[in-house]
């Protein structure tokens, strides 16, 4: 997937232990539980001295990352456990057009003190491609039906 340099997507390794499935934790300086409400269409924001490591634990959403005047749309879902790593300086936001809230874990890596402009919303420089987003959401929903 032609992601911006530095952004990575990694499937989680897991082992079966009785009835439970154990997934490899992510090292972090701080761990946050984040809720992306249904109907969310975020503006972009950027972190200057932190790396986000996101894992969806309930629901799904589309991560949008801006790079070279184009958007990368990355679908993330509880049915396909993956960690996406977003390095400092990458404008990104969340879109959740599904019928349920999305819950994710952000295992944050700190590279210095927070910058005053961190988390400050930035207007997207051009409209999001909602046709592409809806197609991705349909694909996520089909995969969820197969997994369930």
Architecture of domain 8-147: Sandwich (2.60)
* pLDDT tens digits for range 91-100: 999 999 999 9
Q: 115: which DSSP letter?
A: P
pLDDT value of position 1: 44
Q: What is the mean pLDDT of residues 30-38?
A: 96
* pLDDT tens digits for range 61-72: 999 999 888 999
CA dist 131 to 61, 134, 136, Å? 15, 5, 9
pLDDT value of position 2: 47
User: What is the strand order of the sheet 70-77 is part of?
Assistant: 40-41, 92-96, 60-67, 70-77
Q: Where are the domains of the chain?
A: 8-147
* pLDDT tens digits for range 80-90: 889 999 999 99
Q: Percent of the chain, pLDDT > 90?
A: 65
């Amino acid at each position: 997937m032609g992601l911006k340099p530095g952004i990575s997507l990694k499937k989680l390794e897991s082992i079966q232990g009785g009835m439970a499935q154990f997934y490899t934790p992510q090292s972090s300086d701080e761990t946050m539980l984040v809720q992306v409400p249904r109907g969310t269409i975020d503006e972009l924001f950027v972190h200057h001295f932190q790396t986000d490591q996101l894992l969806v634990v309930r629901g799904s959403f589309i991560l949008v990352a801006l790079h070279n005047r184009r958007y990368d749309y990355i679908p993330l879902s509880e049915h396909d456990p993956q960690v996406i790593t977003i390095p400092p300086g990458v404008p990104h936001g969340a879109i959740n057009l599904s019928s349920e809230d999305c819950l994710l874990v952000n295992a944050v890596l700190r590279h210095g003190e927070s910058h005053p402009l961190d988390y400050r919303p930035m207007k997207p420089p051009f409209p999001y491609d909602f046709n592409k987003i809806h197609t991705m959401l349909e694909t996520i929903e089909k995969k969820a039906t197969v997994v369930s």
